[in-house]
């Protein structure tokens, strides 16, 4: 590439920069949305755990044992209990009561526990989103187990001496087994790769990727389509500009802006959410390839659209499945296998995976090399494809 070519590309890049600079709406979009999105998404996914789920608590038993259980479950932060009198009806009308669960301690519960024929507590749980019901049941179950343990300890403490005398007659092996059976068994958990188990550390690449994908694809897709709509593309083509000079000149300002945005988001998440970034060189490479791939995608959309409106529509249709299926905010493993193959087609999938491998797993390059190769292939395919489509506009 000679000097004339550089100068021609610089002319296009400067012109494109002026378009962005003069369009106040785009400028606001670029300056305001990324920090707002980062903060909102960051905080939205920060908690990760359900708290203050509104729920009804109805004690129809009224015994001291039921009262003790009440104290325990009322302390659970998952729920925000509304204690109701035993006379209340329609406890399964969760919507009517404006709650997501209701827990009933049935009449005679305490007695049934003492009689060796325990009746279960009744839990009505909102299953509409498929996660909540299981989660709430687990929480109640856990509290109940803790309660049972406490009750057992109280029972052991009050056992008459004769029982201990009797137990001494049992063989040692059986006695040991009993002790073991009476103790709660436990797991010693050692968390790897995200030791603080903060969801924000996991979701940061998703936030970066989402914002950049949104901005690069939609803005890039609009640029060529806008020139085509306004007729200026023909005016560009009758100059001695070559296609690759037009494309490069158009990409440069967006690339510059995107890199500035990445740096800005990384600084913001580092400062505000205290996210640590590991191996800046590898992360920079991953970001750069992802950006090129997104810009190429925008270019491709731009080349198949005749108007700006079409370009935006195509962008939305492309971006929607990307957001849902790319594993930006939830592990890909939740998706069925067949869908996961579709996910592999999206640059955001590879970006998030590679970013996490570097930043959370501290993995060696051979672990994320496949993702880098996929991103590079994406860059190649989108740019060659866009170049080919642009060639057809001429004819």
Q: Give the Cα separation of 368 and 330 in Å (integer).
A: 19
To the nearest whole angstrom, how small is the minimum distance from the Cβ of residue 386 to other proteins? 19
Q: Give the Cα separation of 111 and 107 in Å (integer).
A: 9
Q: Which is nearer to other proteins, 229 or 344 (CB)?
A: 229
To the nearest whole angstrom, how small is the minimum distance from the Cβ of residue 240 to other proteins? 5
To the nearest whole angstrom, how small is the minimum distance from the Cβ of residue 199 to other proteins? 43
Q: Which is nearer to other proteins, 11 or 76 (CB)?
A: 11
According to DSSP, the β-strands at 101-105 and 122-125 are antiparallel
- Is 235 one of the binding residues for other proteins (CB under 8 A)? yes
DSSP 160: -
- Is 230 one of the binding residues for other proteins (CB under 8 A)? yes
Q: Which is nearer to other proteins, 80 or 239 (CB)?
A: 239
- Is 11 one of the binding residues for other proteins (CB under 8 A)? yes
- Is 145 one of the binding residues for other proteins (CB under 8 A)? no
C-beta of residue 301 within 8 angstroms of C-beta of residue 217? yes
Contact region with other proteins (CB under 8 A), list: 131-139, 234-242, 298-306, 321-329 = 234-242
Instruction: Kindly tell me which residue out of 242, 278, 306, 362 binds other proteins, with binding defined by CB under 8 A.
Output: 242
- Is 309 one of the binding residues for other proteins (CB under 8 A)? no
- Is 12 one of the binding residues for other proteins (CB under 8 A)? yes
Q: Which is nearer to other proteins, 227 or 371 (CB)?
A: 227
- Is 251 one of the binding residues for other proteins (CB under 8 A)? no
Q: Given CA atoms 158, 161, 167, 172 in this order, what sign does their dihedral have?
A: positive
Q: Give the Cα separation of 136 and 362 in Å (integer).
A: 35
Q: Which is nearer to other proteins, 23 or 111 (CB)?
A: 23
- Is 24 one of the binding residues for other proteins (CB under 8 A)? no
Contact region with other proteins (CB under 8 A), list: 7-15, 49-57, 72-80, 110-118 = 7-15
- Is 22 one of the binding residues for other proteins (CB under 8 A)? yes
Q: Give the Cα separation of 386 and 380 in Å (integer).
A: 10
| Residues 160-219 within binding reach of other proteins (CB under 8 A) | none
Q: Which is nearer to other proteins, 12 or 215 (CB)?
A: 12
Q: Given CA atoms 97, 102, 107, 110 in this order, what sign does their dihedral have?
A: negative
To the nearest whole angstrom, how small is the minimum distance from the Cβ of residue 238 to other proteins? 5
To the nearest whole angstrom, how small is the minimum distance from the Cβ of residue 257 to other proteins? 17
To the nearest whole angstrom, how small is the minimum distance from the Cβ of residue 261 to other proteins? 22
Judging by beta carbons within 10 Å of its beta carbon (0-12, 13-18, 19+), is residue 12 exposed, middle or buried? Answer: buried
Contact region with other proteins (CB under 8 A), list: 77-85, 161-169, 239-247, 379-387 = 239-247
For 201, the token pair is 């550390």
Strands (E) across the chain are located at 53-59, 79-84, 101-105, 122-125
Those residues whose C-beta lies under 8 Å from the C-beta of residue 145, and which sit 6 or more positions away, are 184
Q: Give the Cα separation of 354 and 16 in Å (integer).
A: 31
Provide the 10 A C-beta neighbour count for residue 341: 10
For 224, the token pair is 């060529």
> Which residues, listed in sequence order, are joined to residue 124 by a DSSP beta bridge?
102
To the nearest whole angstrom, how small is the minimum distance from the Cβ of residue 301 to other proteins? 22
Please count the residues of this chain forming the interface with other proteins, following the rule CB under 8 A.
Answer: 26
Q: Which is nearer to other proteins, 13 or 207 (CB)?
A: 13
Instruction: Kindly tell me which residue out of 52, 180, 240, 334 binds other proteins, with binding defined by CB under 8 A.
Output: 240
- Is 25 one of the binding residues for other proteins (CB under 8 A)? no
> Which residues, listed in sequence order, are joined to residue 57 by a DSSP beta bridge?
83, 103
Sheet holding 122-125, edge to edge: 79-84, 53-59, 101-105, 122-125
For 298, the token pair is 């925008």
Q: Which residues bind other proteins (CB under 8 A)?
A: 4, 7-8, 10-12, 14-15, 18-19, 22-23, 230-232, 234-242, 394-395
């Amino acid at each position: 590439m000679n000097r004339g070519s550089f100068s021609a590309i610089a002319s296009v890049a400067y012109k494109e920069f002026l378009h962005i600079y003069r369009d106040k709406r785009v400028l606001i979009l670029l300056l305001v949305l990324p920090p707002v999105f980062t903060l909102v998404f960051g905080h939205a996914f920060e908690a990760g755990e359900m708290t203050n789920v509104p729920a009804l608590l109805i004690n129809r038993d009224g015994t001291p044992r039921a009262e003790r259980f009440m104290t325990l479950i009322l302390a659970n932060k998952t729920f925000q209990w509304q204690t109701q009198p035993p006379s209340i009806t329609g406890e399964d009308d969760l919507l009517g009561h404006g709650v997501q669960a209701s827990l009933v301690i049935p009449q005679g519960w305490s007695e049934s526990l003492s009689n060796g024929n325990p009746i279960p507590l009744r839990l009505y749980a909102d299953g509409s989103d498929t996660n909540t019901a299981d989660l709430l049941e687990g929480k109640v179950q856990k509290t109940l187990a803790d309660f049972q343990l406490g009750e057992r300890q109280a029972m052991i403490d009050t056992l008459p001496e004769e029982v201990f005398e009797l137990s001494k007659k049992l063989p040692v092996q059986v006695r040991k087994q009993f002790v073991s059976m009476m103790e709660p068994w436990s797991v010693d958990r050692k968390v790897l790769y995200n030791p603080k188990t903060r969801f924000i550390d996991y979701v940061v690449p998703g936030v970066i990727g989402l914002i950049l994908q949104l901005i690069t694809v939609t803005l890039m897709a609009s640029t060529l389509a806008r020139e085509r709509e306004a007729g200026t593309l023909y005016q560009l083509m009758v100059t001695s500009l070559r296609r690759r000079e037009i494309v490069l000149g158009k990409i440069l300002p967006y690339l510059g802006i995107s890199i500035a945005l990445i740096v800005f988001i990384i600084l913001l998440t580092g400062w505000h959410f205290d996210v640590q970034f590991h191996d800046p060189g590898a992360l920079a490479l991953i970001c750069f390839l992802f950006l090129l791939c997104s810009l190429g995608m925008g270019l491709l959309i731009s080349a198949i659209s005749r108007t700006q409106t079409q370009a935006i529509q195509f962008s939305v249709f492309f971006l929607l499945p990307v957001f849902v299926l790319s594993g930006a905010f939830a592990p890909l493993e939740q998706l069925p296998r067949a869908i996961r193959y579709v996910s592999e087609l999206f640059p955001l999938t590879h970006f998030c995976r590679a970013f996490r491998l570097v930043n959370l797993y501290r993995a060696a390059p051979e672990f994320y090399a496949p993702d880098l190769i996929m991103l590079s292939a994406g860059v190649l395919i989108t740019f060659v494809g866009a170049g080919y489509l642009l060639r057809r506009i001429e004819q």
